Each structure stands twice: as structure tokens, then as C-alpha cells.
Amino acid sequence: MNNSAVLVIGGGIAGIQASIDLANLGFQVYLVERTPSIGGRMAQLDKTFPTNDCSICILAPKMIECASHKKVNLLTYSEVIEVEGRAGDFRVKILKKPRFVDMNRCTGCGECVENCPRRVPNEFNLFLDKRKAIYLLFPQAVPHKMTIDAQNCLYFLKGRCRLCEEVCLAKAIDFEQEEKIVELSVGAIILATGFDPFDVSALKEYGYGEIKNVITGLEFERLISASGPTSGELERPSDKKPPQVIAFIQCVGSRDVNYNPYCSAVCCMHATKEAILAGEHYPGLRSFVFYTDLRAAGKRFQEYINRAKEEYGVTYIRARPGKITAKDGRPIIWYEETLFKEGEERKVRKMEVDLVVLCQALVPHGSHQEVTRKLGIELDEMGFIRIPDRLSRPVDTSVEGVFACGFCQGPQDIPDSVIQASGAAARVAELLTVERM
């Protein structure tokens, strides 16, 4: 019972922070990340509220710090497939998917990417553009090594090509690479598996997928990002022109008993940020935010909302639109305002806009299910990890020795996630120190 190694599952900002703190506290950390790079959702954000800090500017140094820490062992492109045991003594099996690239040889130079003939939809940019079959998840990816996406690689599909191999002077391409199982023994586990955007096409009335100029909040984020598919030019899908009027619809799939009854916690501020960014980018652009409650309860949030109203002409309308239709490609929002001044008439109104952004609900990512099932960790009815005693033990799951931080245990923003991540590290330190003593 003196295992001072810790497994962290999920390489988003929460997992990264937990890993750095644990490593600094003296623990050996194994950070398992499903995709080829750590960074998680925060890497996809353009800026962050309420400071409008550039997301990657503040995240990248943390990613590098985490990866270069002597006590952090990064297991990217990997998944936990088995786990058993109890606090102080967990045994874990991790599947390392083949990258078909020798991590020791690859220098991340990108010559292979230049030469790869196969273009496939780019998941990092929410399929708004294409990447190659051999790729770096995003320019600042850590580790800075390439990955061959075997499902799309011509060699794997048709048995020939191998152009990447030809051009790689470092001889890093290895088509023979196979899956590997890594077995670990750890004293504690931290879950930090984050969220997925809810699939808004379920809400037929909002026309996502039908009406071109209806997009999701995360798509908007990539569009406005300087490193996104349009280099930060906000192009509406129909004609690639910048919009002049944008509507943000809140609680799409959230606070809705038909889908997710809970509040996703970040969308009000997220939409406000996007409206501000759009306003900064295109002076004169107008934004309307259709909200249920304007939840701006964090430090500097109200001030941020005020700024949006005063400096960027963002208008907040308390309404839950009933439907979105389209006329000549322009979306029309049908809504009834639920707050009104004395004497105003109550009626259904229409608003024609250039672009609609659906601020979708955020749902648990679900990649923790394997682990939670095997260890009998309780989830709540939404699939978030249940925290039995939130008041005294806000990062402890129902199983001793397993902790959860960030969005996987309930909707929250970045500061709360890094707080919980550090908090989880403190709990691990407490557990494994007490165990030792």
C-alpha cells in the first residue's frame, strides 16, 4: 500500500493541471489521453472569458510544462481498457493505439503532412476544413509528433502510397507498428474526461443541419479563432460573407427536460464572449442573445456582460425561441419575449439574422465509462460522475482512491476545473501520504 504513482485520465486542462500538481508534489503521474495530443477542449477555444485571454497562449505553456515534467509520463492516443483493485493499489491496463510513427524519431517537422495526398475532414476544427491522413492534431500539439489516421490512410485502405515514408528523412514512419498494452500499478486515479457538445440536430425546430447559417457555439469558436479554418474570418456558411447580425440561442438542449435538465454553466458567458469577439472583429456588427436566465455569477462576469452591452451593442432578450425558419438562406427566429415593460403587448415576434449560433448543451464525454463501470463508480442520471459528499469532499467519487475533477463531475468553467484539478491532487496527496504513514 505505498504506491506513489497516480493515473490521470483525460488530457484536457483539468487533467493537465492535476498532473502538473501531482508531479510537483512528488508523485509519478501517468496521463492518459485518447487523442494524439493533450490540450482538450481548451485548445479549441479562441479566447476565454472574462479576460479575453487568448486560450492557446495560456494553455500551451501548461501543456509543455506537463509534457516535459520528469515525473509525468504521457500516454497519448491511448485508452484505459481495464482497471481493478482499490485505493492504494489499482492495476490498470492501457491500450496504446499505433500512430504508425516512431515517437523517438519523429521531429514533428511536417514534411510528411505536406506530401500526404489524402485529405480528410478535420475533427479538431469540427469538420469545417480538412486535414491530411498523417497529421498533427493542431499546430501547438503536445507531443509534437505526427499520427497516421489508419482509417483514412491510402496505404491502409488500398495498400499503396507510403509517400510519407519516402519523404521522412528521420525514418520515423513505421507501418508495422502495432497496438501495445501497458500495464500500470497506481495508488490513485483521477478522472478528468471532460465534455462533448450535445448533438443539436436532435432539436429539429432549430434547423441545425437544414439551415446553412445555423451553427453551434463550438463551431463559431473555431471560425473566429485566428488559427481556425478561416484564419479568424467569421464566414457564414452560405456565402462566406461576414454576418452583420448574429443571434445566439442559449440553453439549446440544456435546462430542457426532454434532453438535459441541467444548466451547462458556461454558455451564457461563452455566448457573451463570442458576441464580444464578433463585435471586436467587425465593428458595427450586432448580436442578440436569447437567454433563459443570464447566469453570470463568477468573478468579473457581470462586468463582462456590462461591457458586452455598452461597448459591443450586445442585446440580451429573455426568450426561448420556438423555432427557426429560413427565407432566402437567412434564418428567422420566432420568439416571445418573457420580460416586458408596462403596456407592452405580448406576442410572438420574428427576427431575421445573418447567422444563428446555437449554444448547445455540454454533456459528459463518456470516455470514463469503462473505468467507472469496472470500479463501480456511481454516475448521476446524466452520466456525470456522482460526488456523494460535495460539501466536504468535492472531488471524491463514490469509490475510495478515485477522484474526479472538471466537467466530468458536473458543468463548470475553466477556473473551477483547474481548482478541482489541484484539489484532486491535494486529496491524492492526503490519501497516499496517510497510507504511507
Residue 219 found at the interface with another protein (CB under 8 A): no
- Of 62, 236, 270, 286, the one binding another protein (CB under 8 A) is 62
What minimum distance in Å lies between the beta carbon of 203 and another protein? 18
Taking each helix axis from N to C end, the angle separating 13-24 and 414-436, rounded to the nearest 10 degrees, works out to 30
Asked whether the beta carbons of 377 and 397 are under 8 A apart, the reply is yes
In the window 353-372, what residues touch another protein (CB under 8 A)?
none
Whether the bond into 139 is cis, omega within 30 of 0: no
Q: For residues 380-399, which are near another protein according to CB under 8 A?
A: 380, 382, 384, 390-395
DSSP 259: S
Q: Rule CB under 8 A: choose which of 3, 225, 360, 367 binds another protein.
A: 225
Q: Which of 1, 2, 68, 210 binds another protein (CB under 8 A)?
A: 68
415 touches another protein (CB under 8 A): yes
Minimum separation from the CB atom of position 293 to another protein (A):
4
State the CB neighbour count (10 A cutoff) for residue 151.
9
Is residue 342 close enough to count as binding another protein by CB under 8 A?
Answer: yes
Site membership for another protein, residue 50 (CB under 8 A): yes
Considering only residues 167 to 196 of the shown chain, the ones binding another protein according to CB under 8 A are 167-170
Q: By C-beta, is 47 or 330 nearer to another protein? A: 47
Q: Which of 95, 212, 227, 369 binds another protein (CB under 8 A)?
A: 227
- Per CB under 8 A, which region of 198-206, 226-234, 325-333, 370-378 contacts another protein? 226-234
Which range of residues in 28-36, 55-63, 120-128, 151-159 is near another protein by CB under 8 A? 55-63
Compute the Cα dihedral for 72, 73, 78, 83 and give only its sign: negative
Of 334, 228, 272, the C-alpha closest to 50 is 272
Shortest Cβ 413–another protein spacing (Å): 9
210 sits near another protein (criterion: CB under 8 A) = no
Cα(251)–Cα(93) distance, integer angstroms: 39
95, 128, 326, 419: which one binds another protein (CB under 8 A): 419
Q: Which residue lies nearer to another protein by CB, 166 or 239?
A: 166
Task: Report if residue 103 touches another protein, rule: CB under 8 A.
Answer: no
Answer yes or no whether residue 296 interacts with another protein by CB under 8 A: yes
Q: Which is nearer to another protein, 68 or 315 (CB)?
A: 68
Torsion-angle region of residue 420: left (phi > 0), alpha (psi -120 to 50) or beta? alpha
Contacts of 106 (CB under 8 A, 6+ apart): 145, 146, 170, 172
Calpha distance 286→351 (Å, rounded): 13
Which listed residue (69, 71, 97, 144) binds another protein by CB under 8 A?
Answer: 144
How far apart are alpha carbons 203 and 321 in whole angstroms? 12
Total residues interacting with another protein, rule: CB under 8 A: 96
Closest approach, Cβ 154 to another protein, in A, equals 21
> Is the backbone peptide bond immediately before 415 cis, with ω within 30 degrees of 0?
no
Return the beta strands (E) in 265-407 as ranges: 286-291, 314-318, 323-327, 330-336, 348-352, 355-360, 362-364, 402-404
Among the listed residues 98, 110, 237, 313, the single contact to another protein using CB under 8 A: 110
Least distance CB 230 / another protein (angstroms): 10
Based on CB atoms, which residue is closest to another protein, 181 or 297?
Answer: 297
Cβ atoms 290, 246 nearer than 8 A: no
CB 182, min distance to another protein, A: 23
Does residue 128 belong to the site contacting another protein (CB under 8 A)? no
Count CA atoms closer than 13 A to 235's CA, side-chain side.
Answer: 13
Tell the burial category of 94 from Cβ atoms under 10 Å away from its Cβ (0-12, 13-18, 19+): buried
- The residue range among 89-97, 117-125, 296-304, 320-328 that interacts with another protein, by the rule CB under 8 A, is 296-304
Provide DSSP, 121-166.
E-TTTTTSSEEESEE-SSTT-BS---EE-TTT-HHHHHS---HHHH
Q: Which stretch binds another protein (CB under 8 A): 32-40, 106-114, 193-201, 351-359?
A: 106-114
Cα separation of 275 and 243, whole Å?
A: 12
